[in-house]
Structure 1
Amino acid sequence: MEHKVMNNVRVYGLEESVIASGYPMKKSYHPELIEGLPETLTKKDWKRAKNLANTPPASGHDCFLKGVIVQFDLTITEKMWPQFQRYTFADFVSSMSTIHMLSKMNAEYIKYTDKKIIKDFEDIVADFNCDPSRDNWLRMIYSYPSGLLLTARITTNYLQLKNIYKQRDKHPLPEWKWFREEMLRLPHFKEWCTGGKLDDSGY
C-alpha cells in the first residue's frame, strides 16, 4: 500500500444495531437491551448478526448494517473520486477544494503520476501565482493531474461499504484494493461483510 487511504476512523452504533437485528423476531419491545449495552449482548446476538450480515446484497436480511455508521477521512486521487461519488449513501462532510486552494496546495500525487506531467503542472501553477489572471486560473484548474491526492471526510455505513467491497473486487485501480484492505480493519467487518450464508435456522 503506497499511502493510507482511510484515516481518523470512527464507528458508531455497532452494538445497538446488533440488538436491533433481532427486532423482527421479537414478541415485545425491551428498551433495557440497548440501555444495558454491552452487558446485554449474548453469543446468540453476535451469531445472528454475523449470519444476517453475510446474506447476499439486496436480499434485505442485512439491512441492520445501515445502523453501523462509519466516518473517516478518505484520501484518493482525482481518478478515483468520480467512481466513489457514484455511491449515494456515502455523504461528504467536507473536502479539500481545488477551486479555492489549488495554487497554494502542498500537492501530493500517487506514485504512478508521470513526473514530467507534475513538472508541467507546477509551471502552470507558478504562472498563475505570478499573474493571477482568470485565464491563468482556468488553465491551472483544467490542467492538474488525475493522480493528485485529495482528502474528504466521509459518513457512510457498513451496508454501503459491504456493497463497495464486493463491487470493487479486482478493480484495476490500486486505490480500490487499498480501500478494501482498510475496510477489513473495521470492527467485525471481515466476518460480517466478506462472504458467507445463513445457517439452517435462518439466523
Structure 2
Amino acid sequence: MNYNEVISNVQIYGFEDAVKGAKYSYAVDLNKVSSEISKSTIALAASQPGSGHDQFMTGIILQFDLTFSNKAWVEAERYKFLNFITSQSTMHRITKFNLDDVYMPQVDKRIVEIMKEKVAAYNQLQTEIKEKQENGKDVTALTAKLDQMYLELLYSNPAGFRLTAKMSTNYRALKTIYRQRKDHKLPEWRAFCQWVRTLPHSEFITGETAAE
C-alpha cells in the first residue's frame, strides 16, 4: 500500500516560526533570532519523546485527509493530539456508499455481497414506505422494521470499511506515532509512516537521515 492511498490534501503551517521559537530559551534580543535550522535545533528534535526538549515541534501543524479502515481508526483514536476536524459517517450514509469501492481488499467478498444485499433491501423498503406515505397509508410497522434493518447494517459492517476524515496534528505528536506504528501489521499504518518520511525535515520526527 502506498501512502497516497491513505493521505491527501496535506497542509503544513508554522514550520519557520516553530524553528525560530526553539531558540527563544537562550535569546535576549528576539529580533536577532533566525528561523535557520541549527545544530541545537536538530539536537532538540532528536531528544527522547516525553522529555519536553522537543516542545517546539508542537508548533509545526499539519492538516490532511486520512483514509483508514474502521480497524485502523479504532487504534488512531488513542492518540490525544491526532485530532478529528470532521469525517465521513457510516451512521448517516452507510446506505449511500458504493460498496465496491470502500472496503479493504482483504475483506471477504462474501461479506461484501451480504452488505450489498442488506443495503438493497433497506433502500427497497425505504422506497416502499415513501410510496405508502404518499398514499396516506399507515407505515408505523414498516418504519420500525426499517430502523431495525439500519442497525443490522451498522453492526454487520466489517472492520475493513474505509472512511476519510480531515485531521490535524503536529510534528511532535507524529514523533510518537511514527515510533509506535512504523512496523505495524496493518498496511495503513505502514503507509502512514511512509508519508511521514516524505515531510519536510522528516528527520525531526523519525530520527532518520536521508541515507538511512
Percent identity of paired positions between Structure 1 and Structure 2: 39
Consecutive unaligned residues in structure 1, runs of 5 or more: 34-39, 197-203
**Does residue 137 of the first structure (1) align with residue 150 of the second (2)?**
yes
**Does residue 194 of the first structure (1) align with residue 191 of the second (2)?**
no
State the distance in 1 between where 2:59 and 2:156 align.
41
TM-score, length-normalised on structure 1?
0.86
1:68-147, aligned counterparts within 5 Å? 68-107=60-99, 108-132=102-126, 133-147=146-160
- Partner residue, 2:129: none
- Comparing 166-175 and 18-27, the one that deviates more: 166-175
SS in 1 for 2:176: helix
State the distance in 1 between where 2:206 and 2:81 align.
19
How many positions carry a matched residue from both structures? 186
**Does residue 62 of the first structure (1) align with residue 74 of the second (2)?**
no
Determine if contact 1:51/1:192 at 8 Å carries over to the other structure: no
State the distance in 1 between where 2:190 and 2:95 align.
30
- Partner residue, 1:12: 13
State the distance in 2 between where 1:112 and 1:50 align.
41
Deviations 1:148-178 (A, max 9, x none): 1100000110011110000113221111111
- The alignment's C-alpha RMSD in Å is 1.6
- Partner residue, 1:173: 186
- Partner residue, 1:183: 196
Consecutive unaligned residues in structure 2, runs of 5 or more: 127-145
State the distance in 1 between where 2:59 and 2:53 align.
13
State the distance in 2 between where 1:49 and 1:109 align.
42
SS in 1 for 2:44: helix
Give the letter for the 2:113 counterpart: K
- Comparing 160-169 and 1-10, the one that deviates more: 1-10
- Partner residue, 1:25: 26
Q: Shift of the alpha carbon at 1:91?
A: 1.3
State the distance in 2 between where 1:9 and 1:180 align.
14
Q: Shift of the alpha carbon at 1:145?
A: 1.5
Give the letter for the 1:141 counterpart: L
TM-score, length-normalised on structure 2?
0.83
